[in-house]
């Protein structure tokens, strides 16, 4: 680290960690107390040092520094930082005598600049500060001296000045001028540098190797380079300074050896050999040590693998301390370049340093070994939507974190089986790949990250879109100048994607001209000009894909002649075969009349009069500008050729056929494809292949040589000859053993090439063994996980297709529930050793067995095992009725739940008053024992409507509630004290007076209307009906706010079956039903105020008159929460 003596010294050191690390420094290997040096400060939140050299000389701080960062998890150290001050010493004063040389001899003008740090940059100039020209004859060496291979008379001058520029101090020093006088002879080359016949040099791996040979002689010698023991590395070799310097970049061990430079002119040559030895500072073989994250009890390896020349030594440190001096750890074992961790424990976390060094350098790397116990987490955002085009590859991410490293499992829609077989591929990082996505692959995907600490699931969605396709491509157009032209480009795309249509001209943007207009799927050009000719391309882009098509526009001059008639071209003529060889021939022809439309291409067809007479086949196409074609042919074919021409109108008629050209027969060039082996019985092997076509036979007598041998058993091939067939059956084979297969094509002229070896298996048979060590692990009341050991391959006797788990409910663990014997089957494809059984009934006894199956069928079942599911929440009570109504009490009777899912531990009864103004009273709650099926409530209000909610409970929680309403009886004493106002005399008199007054008013109005003639009273009355006599809103003459029908409606979200029973499937088949219990139905204070709020009418309308379906507990909870 070179510093400028005029500026403060800044030595950088930064590190990160949690908690934030603290920093310290060493200087020349000992602790550097920064606080005791007033000239040194450390930047806050970092370890960077700043040295103020305003009050002290910079030389005082020329030392070797090293930074250390540490926190409670470990210590990291930096590389050594060597601080040196830049220097630019003065040139010593000297008097240089003039140099007198003979013309043609070599000359060296020494520079010898003073030593500086860093070394100065050397260049030669004259008194006018112009650089002295260099050439293949005059060059500056790496040490700054100026070399003349030979001097010429024009080299005489008195201002050869060497300059040295010191980059850090930006100063330039000048040497005293040198005077050269050239006396005017040709001579053989000799080397100025290097001296002697040979020399040697050492270079480090990865550095730049520069070797120079500067020769003198007259005429000027030419320099050439070679490697004695091989070739120069072409891509890394360059020649500088007019071939005098050989440069090899990024030197490797293969560059070691002898290099020879040769100087040559017309009088002779001379050579010098340079022996190059390549040494290497340490370098990583497989990268620096990587951080390790291990769970308690896991094993791990920390590797520090490096190489170098000479071989480097390796030293390990822990938290900056040599590992041999670090605290002992029984889980750690050091073996040369490797640290092996076995059964690590919490507290073993540390930062390890690996120091690799030899004579030419060292490497220092830090690696954090973190012993961490962390349950799995999925880092991919939940509910992320992936979109992919049909038939394209789909990649669905499941980035996870955990310790131990989680195992990733994928499910689609239902969790019946994992996705780990064709067409799904699961990568090591958890990404699910579908190589060619189809529409049915779309949907919901679930990735589950699992380790010993738990399971984390994440849901994502895949949408498979239809590809964008151009249905109608723009067509080639020929238009007269001044006319209009229209290009159409009709496209089909996925309707859910936003399309964008773009038009290009000659792969660039359309001209900014109002004559060009784009309307949906067409491009219109009006008043066409000559420069509008070109290729027009339509591109339809969506967010996922694109498609494009092009067409050419040709602009012709407008003529007063009648409209040009475009027709198909005339057929080509004068077909001729030349340059005839065994498997090729050249066909030439003369084009026919184009009929005003240029020929776009020629199509060449052939007839094989030997194998398929009368049938013409397309052979090749050539552009319309060519009239010859070099045709590659097959052996043993009698060829007849013809040519068709194509223009914008269409194809011409075929030309007259050429003469016949016969190719000679030969051995086959290829063998049959699609070779495969399989069995149709347990003791045979069917070898099949795709036979060669007529053109592929290359000669008469085509047949096939079929070879087979049992893999890893037979060393010799068994063969048979098969003709006129594409399969052969080998009988008497062992059951399901691998075979190697070959099928070779043979004809009368020889055999085809050596065939490739294909793999196949003899026939399968049913498995003879069942999975062992079958166990079940109950996850919750509705899910269990089944484990088994894999079946040995030999006992499967076929391709392993998967495992089938048969399971059935033996009985409920509650004495009141009946037995169940319906069996279920779950299929786990692939080599699985575990599977999940969902949708189980709580509090039940289950039996299960496992079978392995192959392509032939299933093997025997394993021994049946049993497991019990724990209790779940119960269903709603089967019925709830109100009996024994009285003035201030009533009796409720109920029946226990049909689906108990465990032992009923009690009931909870909640009730509250309901009146006709939609107001509800406070909720009362009553806990009841499990053995009661009725309760009498006293101290109730008379003539009051009550609503009751009853649910059952198990140890797992409360189930859904059933509700009912009832009204207490009115008090007869109160009813007798009530006065009927309609029977009071004063009320009758008042009503008569009002009726008389209304009658008088009507008579007066009638008289007023009849004054002055007739008046159409009836028509006016019909037109103005009295609004007081409009019918009521509801058909039943109620006001719709709280009608009698409300009394008979079930509470929204409640369970009120009309028959007093609950559907079985609504209570015990859903995982969701038993997740949280029924507590979510009630408000914090137990009230149901939302049931009779002002929105009841709208809710009734939305739900329909009455519903006979009992909603699930989750629906009930959501409904009630929406009101509260």
Tens-place pLDDT, residues 789-832: 999 989 999 999 999 999 999 888 876 555 656 889 999 998 88
Pull the structure tokens for residue 811: 């009985």
How high is the pLDDT of residue 1017? 36
Grouping H, G, I as helix, E, B as strand and the rest as coil, residue 1101 is: helix
Q: What percent of the chain has pLDDT over 70?
A: 87
Pull the structure tokens for residue 973: 């004493």
**Is a pLDDT exceeding 50 seen at residue 1023?**
no
How high is the pLDDT of residue 938? 87
Indicate whether this model's pTM tops 0.75: no
**Is a pLDDT exceeding 70 seen at residue 1118?**
no
The answer to whether the CB of 665 falls within 8 A of the CB of 649 is: no
Whose CA is closest to 938, among 989, 887, 904?
887
Q: Does 423 sit behind a cis peptide bond, omega within 30 degrees of 0 on the bond before it?
A: yes
Q: CA 359 to CA 313: how far, in whole Å?
A: 10
Cα separation values, 357 from 313, 565, 884, 922, Å: 6, 86, 99, 83
**Is a pLDDT exceeding 70 seen at residue 68?**
yes
Q: Which residues pair with 750 in a beta bridge?
A: 747
What is the per-residue burial (b if ≥16 Cβ within 10 Å, else e) of 252-286?
A: eeebbeebebbbbbeeebbbbebebebbbbbeeee
Whose CA is closest to 1068, among 895, 906, 872, 837?
872
Give ∠ CA 131-137-141 in degrees, rounded to 5. Answer: 65
How high is the pLDDT of residue 918? 60
| Residue range 211-253, pLDDT digits in tens | 999 999 988 999 999 999 889 999 999 999 899 999 999 999 9
Mean pLDDT across 663-670: 92
SS3 content of the chain, % helix, strand, coil (to 5): 10, 45, 45
How high is the pLDDT of residue 668? 92
How high is the pLDDT of residue 1114? 34
Q: Give the residue, 1001 or 1020, on which the prediction is more confident.
A: 1001
Whose CA is closest to 332, among 320, 349, 356?
349
Enumerate residues 6+ apart whose C-beta is below 8 A from 364: 77, 79, 353, 354, 355, 356
Q: What percent of the chain has pLDDT over 90?
A: 54
Enumerate residues 6+ apart whose C-beta is below 8 A from 539: 501, 502, 503, 504, 546, 547, 548
**Is a pLDDT exceeding 60 seen at residue 407?**
yes
Q: CA 350 to CA 858: how far, in whole Å?
A: 53
| Residue range 555-580, pLDDT digits in tens | 998 766 566 788 999 999 999 998 88
How high is the pLDDT of residue 1087? 33
**Is a pLDDT exceeding 50 seen at residue 1085?**
no
How high is the pLDDT of residue 1123? 30
Q: CA 729 to CA 889: how far, in whole Å?
A: 91
Nearest 5°: phi and psi at 857? 155, -160
Pull the structure tokens for residue 422: 């064709």
**Is a pLDDT exceeding 90 seen at residue 676?**
yes
Within 13 Å of residue 301, how many CA atoms lie on the same side as its CB?
A: 7
Q: Is 641 exposed, middle or buried (0-12, 13-18, 19+ CB in 10 A)?
A: buried
| Residue range 1034-1050, pLDDT digits in tens | 333 333 333 333 333 33
How high is the pLDDT of residue 616? 94
How high is the pLDDT of residue 7? 83
**Most trustworthy range by pLDDT among 5-19, 358-372, 940-954:** 358-372
Cα separation values, 314 from 311, 318, 320, 342, 357, Å: 10, 14, 15, 22, 7
How high is the pLDDT of residue 638? 93
**Is a pLDDT exceeding 90 seen at residue 467?**
yes
What counts of helices (H) and strands (E) characterise the chain? 7, 84
Give ∠ CA 50-54-58 in degrees, rounded to 5. Answer: 70
- Give DSSP secondary structure letters for 228-246: TTS---GGGEEEETTTTEE
Confidence class for position 984, pLDDT limits 50, 70, 90: low
Q: CA 249 to CA 937: how far, in whole Å?
A: 100
How high is the pLDDT of residue 982? 60
Cα separation values, 969 from 261, 403, 917, 936, 973, Å: 125, 68, 19, 15, 12
Confidence class for position 1088, pLDDT limits 50, 70, 90: very low
The answer to whether the CB of 956 falls within 8 A of the CB of 1077 is: yes
Q: CA 245 to CA 911: how far, in whole Å?
A: 103
Q: CA 333 to CA 347: how far, in whole Å?
A: 16
Q: CA 339 to CA 368: how far, in whole Å?
A: 13
How high is the pLDDT of residue 1105? 35
Whose CA is closest to 871, among 569, 1061, 1074?
1074
Confidence class for position 419, pLDDT limits 50, 70, 90: confident
Q: CA 569 to CA 652: how far, in whole Å?
A: 5
Of 378-382, 702-706, 757-761, 1013-1017, the range with the lowest mean pLDDT is 1013-1017
**Is a pLDDT exceeding 50 seen at residue 421?**
yes
How high is the pLDDT of residue 1006? 84
The answer to whether the CB of 357 falls within 8 A of the CB of 309 is: no
DSSP assignment, residue 266? T
How high is the pLDDT of residue 906? 94
How high is the pLDDT of residue 13? 93
How high is the pLDDT of residue 1100? 36
The answer to whether the CB of 180 falls within 8 A of the CB of 99 is: yes
What is the per-residue burial (b if ≥16 Cβ within 10 Å, else e) of 598-629?
A: ebbebbbbbbbeeeeeeebeebeebebeeeeb
Confidence class for position 1068, pLDDT limits 50, 70, 90: very low
Q: Looking up tokens 């894909």, which residue turns up?
A: 545
Other beta carbons within 10 angstroms of residue 399's beta carbon come to 16
Q: CA 134 to CA 7: how far, in whole Å?
A: 38
| Residue range 685-721, pLDDT digits in tens | 999 999 998 888 889 999 999 999 998 887 789 999 9
What is the per-residue burial (b if ≥16 Cβ within 10 Å, else e) of 425-444?
A: ebeeebbbebeebeeebbee
The answer to whether the CB of 692 falls within 8 A of the CB of 664 is: no
The answer to whether the CB of 658 falls within 8 A of the CB of 586 is: no
Domains annotated on the chain, with CATH: 2-85 (2.60.40.10), 93-185 (2.60.40.10), 186-279 (2.60.40.10), 285-371 (2.60.40.10), 378-465 (2.60.40.10), 469-556 (2.60.40.10), 573-661 (2.60.40.10), 673-761 (2.60.40.10), 775-868 (2.60.40.10), 877-972+1041-1123 (2.60.40.10)
Q: CA 877 to CA 1060: how far, in whole Å?
A: 9
- Report the side by side order of strands in the sheet with 394-396: 394-396, 432-434, 425-426
| Residue range 873-898, pLDDT digits in tens | 999 999 999 887 777 888 999 999 98
Farthest CA pair distance, the chain:
162
The answer to whether the CB of 901 falls within 8 A of the CB of 872 is: yes
- Give DSSP secondary structure letters for 609-676: TTTEEEEEEEEEEEETT--EEEEE--SS-EEEEEEEEE-SS-B-PPPPP---EEPPP---SS--EEEE
Pull the structure tokens for residue 568: 């198909």
Mean pLDDT across 976-993: 68
Q: Give the residue, 326 or 974, on which the prediction is more confident.
A: 326
Pull the structure tokens for residue 93: 């004063």
Confidence class for position 168, pLDDT limits 50, 70, 90: confident
Cα separation values, 841 from 806, 1061, 1087, 1112, Å: 16, 19, 33, 16
Q: CA 136 to CA 152: how far, in whole Å?
A: 13
Of 178-187, 301-310, 581-590, the range with the lowest mean pLDDT is 178-187
| Residue range 511-559, pLDDT digits in tens | 999 999 998 788 999 999 999 999 999 999 999 999 999 999 999 987 6
Q: CA 771 to CA 803: how far, in whole Å?
A: 9
Enumerate residues 6+ apart whose C-beta is below 8 A from 496: 463, 465
Q: Give the residue, 1068 or 122, on which the prediction is more confident.
A: 122
How high is the pLDDT of residue 560? 63
Mean pLDDT of the chain: 84
How high is the pLDDT of residue 116? 75
Enumerate residues 6+ apart whose C-beta is below 8 A from 845: 809, 810, 811, 812, 813, 866, 867, 868
| Residue range 86-140, pLDDT digits in tens | 776 777 777 888 999 988 889 999 998 887 777 888 999 998 888 999 999 999 9
**Is a pLDDT exceeding 50 seen at residue 1056?**
no
**Is a pLDDT exceeding 50 seen at residue 868?**
yes
Task: Tell me, letter by letter, the H, E, C secondary structure of 996-1024.
Answer: HHHHHHHHHHHHHHHCCCCCCHHHHHHHC
**Is a pLDDT exceeding 90 seen at residue 476?**
yes
Q: CA 154 to CA 28: how far, in whole Å?
A: 56
Confidence class for position 917, pLDDT limits 50, 70, 90: low
What is the per-residue burial (b if ≥16 Cβ within 10 Å, else e) of 135-170?
A: eebbbbbeebbbbbbbbeeebbeeebbbbbbbebbe
């Amino acid at each position: 680290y070179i510093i400028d003596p005029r500026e403060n010294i800044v030595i950088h050191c930064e590190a990160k960690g949690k908690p934030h690390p603290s920093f310290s420094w060493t200087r020349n290997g000992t602790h550097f107390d920064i606080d005791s040096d007033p000239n040194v400060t450390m930047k806050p939140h970092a370890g960077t040092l700043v040295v103020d050299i305003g009050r002290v000389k910079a030389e005082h701080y020329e030392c070797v520094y090293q930074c250390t960062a540490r926190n409670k998890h470990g210590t990291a150290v930096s590389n050594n930082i060597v601080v040196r001050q830049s220097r630019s010493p003065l040139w010593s004063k000297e008097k240089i005598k003039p140099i007198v040389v003979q013309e043609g001899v070599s000359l060296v003008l020494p520079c010898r600049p003073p030593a500086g740090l860093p070394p100065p940059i050397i260049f030669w100039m004259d008194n006018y500060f112009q650089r002295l020209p260099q050439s293949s004859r005059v060059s500056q060496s790496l040490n700054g001296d100026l070399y003349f291979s030979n001097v010429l008379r024009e080299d005489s001058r008195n201002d050869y000045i060497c300059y040295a520029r010191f980059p850090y101090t930006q100063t330039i020093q000048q040497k005293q001028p040198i005077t050269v006088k050239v006396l005017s002879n040709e001579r053989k080359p000799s080397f100025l540098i290097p001296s002697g016949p040979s020399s040697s040099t050492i270079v480090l791996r990865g550095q730049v190797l520069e070797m120079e040979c500067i020769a003198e002689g007259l005429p000027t010698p030419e320099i050439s380079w070679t490697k004695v023991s091989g070739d120069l590395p072409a891509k890394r070799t360059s020649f500088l300074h007019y071939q005098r310097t050989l440069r090899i970049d990024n030197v490797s061990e293969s560059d070691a050896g002898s290099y020879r430079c040769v100087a040559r002119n017309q009088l002779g040559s001379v050579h010098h050999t340079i022996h190059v030895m390549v040494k290497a500072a340490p370098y990583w073989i497989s990268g620096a040590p990587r951080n390790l994250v291990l769970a308690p009890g896991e094993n791990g390896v920390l590797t520090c693998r490096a190489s170098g020349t000479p071989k480097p030594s390796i030293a390990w440190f822990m938290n900056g301390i040599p590992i041999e001096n670090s605290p002992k750890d029984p889980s750690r074992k050091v073996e040369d370049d490797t640290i092996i961790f076995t059964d690590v424990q919490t507290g073993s976390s540390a930062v390890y340093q690996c120091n690799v060094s030899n004579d030419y350098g060292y490497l220092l790397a830090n690696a954090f070994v973190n012993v961490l116990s962390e349950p799995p987490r999925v880092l991919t955002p939940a509910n992320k939507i992936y979109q992919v085009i049909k038939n394209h590859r789909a990649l669905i991410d499941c980035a996870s974190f955990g310790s131990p490293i989680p195992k990733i499992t994928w499910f689609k829609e239902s969790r019946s089986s994992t996705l780990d077989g064709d067409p799904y591929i699961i990568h090591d990082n958890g990404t699910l790949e579908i190589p060619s996505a189809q529409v049915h692959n779309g949907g919901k995907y679930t990735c589950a990250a699992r380790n010993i600490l738990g399971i984390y699931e994440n849901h994502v969605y895949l949408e498979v879109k239809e590809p964008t396709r151009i249905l109608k491509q723009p067509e080639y157009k020929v238009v007269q100048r001044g006319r209009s032209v229209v290009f159409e480009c009709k496209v089909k795309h996925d309707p859910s994607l936003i399309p964008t249509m773009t038009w290009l001209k000659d792969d660039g943007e359309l001209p900014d001209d109002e004559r060009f207009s784009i309307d949906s799927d067409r491009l219109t050009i009006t008043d066409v000009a000559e420069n509008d000719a070109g290729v027009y391309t339509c591109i339809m882009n969506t967010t996922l894909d694109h498609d494009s098509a092009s067409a050419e526009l040709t602009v012709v001059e407008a003529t007063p002649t009648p409209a040009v008639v475009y027709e198909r071209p005339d057929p080509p003529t004068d077909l001729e075969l030349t340059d005839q060889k065994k498997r090729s021939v050249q066909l030439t022809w003369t084009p026919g009349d184009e009929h005003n439309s240029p020929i776009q291409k020629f199509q060449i067809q052939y007839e094989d009069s030997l194998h398929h007479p009368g049938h013409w086949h397309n052979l090749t196409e050539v552009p319309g500008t060519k009239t010859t074609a070099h045709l590659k042919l097959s052996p043993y074919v009698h060829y007849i050729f013809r040519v068709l021409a194509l223009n914008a109108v269409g194809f011409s008629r075929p030309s007259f056929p050429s003469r016949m050209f016969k190719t000679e027969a030969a051995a086959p060039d290829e063998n049959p494809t699609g070779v495969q082996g399989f069995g149709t019985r347990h003791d045979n092997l069917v070898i099949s292949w795709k036979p060669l076509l007529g053109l592929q036979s290359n000669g008469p007598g085509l047949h096939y040589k079929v070879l087979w041998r049992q893999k890893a058993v037979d060393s010799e091939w068994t063969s048979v000859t098969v003709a006129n067939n594409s399969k052969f059956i080998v009988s008497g084979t062992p059951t399901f053993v691998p075979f190697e297969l070959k099928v070779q094509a043979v004809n009368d002229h020889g055999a085809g090439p050596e065939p490739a070896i294909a793999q196949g298996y003899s026939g399968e048979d049913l498995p003879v063994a069942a999975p062992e060590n079958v166990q079940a692990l109950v996850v919750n009341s509705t899910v269990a996980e089944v484990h088994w050991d894999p079946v040995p391959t030999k006992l499967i006797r076929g391709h392993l297709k998967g495992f089938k788990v048969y399971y059935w409910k033996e009985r409920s663990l509650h004495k009141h529930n009946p037995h169940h014997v319906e069996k279920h089957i779950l299929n786990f494809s692939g080599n699985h050793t575990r599977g999940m059984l969902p949708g189980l009934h709580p509090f039940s006894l289950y039996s299960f067995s496992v079978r392995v199956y192959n392509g032939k069928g299933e093997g025997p079942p394993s021994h049946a095992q049993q497991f019990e599911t724990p209790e779940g929440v119960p269903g709603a009570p089967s019925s709830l009725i109100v009996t024994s109504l009285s003035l201030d009490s009533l009796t409720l009777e109920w029946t226990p739940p049909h689906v108990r899912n465990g032992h009923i531990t009690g009931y909870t009864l909640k009730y509250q008053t309901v009146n006709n103004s939609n107001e509800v009273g406070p909720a009362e709650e009553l806990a009841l024992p499990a053995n009661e099926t009725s309760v009498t409530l006293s101290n109730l209000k008379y003539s009051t409507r009550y609503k009751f909610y009853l649910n059952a409970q198990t140890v797992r929680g409360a189930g859904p509630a059933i509700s009912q309403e009832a009204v207490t009886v009115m008090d007869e004493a109160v009813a007798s004290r009530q006065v009927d106002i309609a029977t009071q005399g004063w009320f009758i008199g008042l009503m008569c007076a009002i009726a008389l007054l209304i009658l008088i008013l009507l008579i007066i109005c009638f008289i007023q209307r009849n004054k002055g003639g007739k008046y159409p009273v009836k028509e006016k009355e019909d037109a103005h009906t009295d609004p007081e006599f409009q019918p009521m809103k509801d058909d039943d003459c109620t006001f719709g706010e709280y009608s009698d029908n409300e009394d008979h409606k079930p509470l929204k979200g409640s369970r009120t079956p009309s028959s007093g029973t609950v559907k079985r499937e609504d209570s015990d088949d859903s995982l969701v039903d038993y997740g949280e219990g029924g507590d979510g139905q009630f408000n914090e204070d137990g009230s149901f105020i939302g049931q009779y709020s002002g929105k009841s009418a709208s809710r009734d309308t939305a739900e329909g008159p009455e519903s006979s379906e009992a909603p699930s507990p989750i629906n009930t909870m959501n409904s009630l929460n929406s009101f509260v």
